[in-house]
Amino acid sequence: QVCVVFSEELQCWCRALVESVRRRADGCQLGCFLVDYAKYCSVASENVRVLARAFAKIPYRAKQCRLHCTKPLTLHIDYCENTAKIGPAKRWDAAAIQYFRKLLE
């Protein structure tokens, strides 16, 4: 669902896709993707507004995408056997993300 959220980092109102909702003792936190800044952020529920129709018609400046059939890998080190093997990982590590960004530049 697309809505308008206030980004504390950017200090402005932004269009966002709501990806997750987490309940907390002090209210709800929304996990959002800012469609005009290509950033992920967490926003308190009181900083969310309904998107105006005229604002919704403007095309997004960023799109979510994934690399087709590309899975993250990491180096698994076994200290007992003194070996290191490359194997699957749950997330991309910071060095891989930085390397990929440099390739894009």
Profile the chain (105 residues) by mean pLDDT over runs of 10 residues: 88 90 87 89 90 80 73 86 89 83 81
Note whether 52 and 82 are same-domain residues: no
Note whether 83 and 43 are same-domain residues: no
Q: Are β-strands 39-44 and 27-34 bridged in parallel, bridged antiparallel, or unpaired?
A: antiparallel
Residues whose CB is less than 8 angstroms from the CB of residue 27 and which lie 6 or more positions away in sequence, other chains included: 44, 45, 46
Which domain, by its residues, includes 99?
A: 73-103
> The domain that contains 26 carries what CATH number?
2.30.30
Domain count, the chain: 2
pTM of the predicted model over 0.85? no
Whole-angstrom distance, CA of residue 99 vs CA of residue 105? 10
Instruction: Output the pLDDT for position 5.
Output: 93
Closest CA relative to residue 71, chosen from 96, 94, 48, 95: 96
